[in-house]
Structure 1
């Protein structure tokens, strides 16, 4: 795996995923971060960036009010990520 440096916002999203016992949709990520002023478009940019970096993977779908939303899970644990950063 290539070196994967995360931005501050990407790290905060990964922290949410690492410390939640299930996969999360983008809307759930926003809801779990009330102190952040992330807009839907911004969280989608971060999710796409994390997908490109290989940090998260689609894990299924969850039903929302009228539609379905993709959920995402981390591809590695927080400890594995820390070891990867130390190695590089």
Structure 2
């Protein structure tokens, strides 16, 4: 909904955010492709996600979609912070290069 924004500074921030999200999406796809080679069921989860968004999420009213996405973003931020603070619980190597 960038076209509805009148403030030029806010519009630029939204444009920057869209660019960040494009990079984020690309990295997710690269990661998913890598773990697919390790026989993780990536195609199944992509199927579930795509169909949920196509047939369920997009049917919701705009305020609900916005609040759900904000909640998901908040959850992932809290999870990432927890994982970084408790790295030893998630990685089984002392090699910094392997954890990067």
Higher strand share: 1
More helix by share: 2
Relative contact order higher in (CA < 8 Å, ≥ 6 apart): 1
Does TM-score exceed 0.5, indicating one fold?
no
TM-score, length basis structure 1: 0.30
Higher Rg: 2
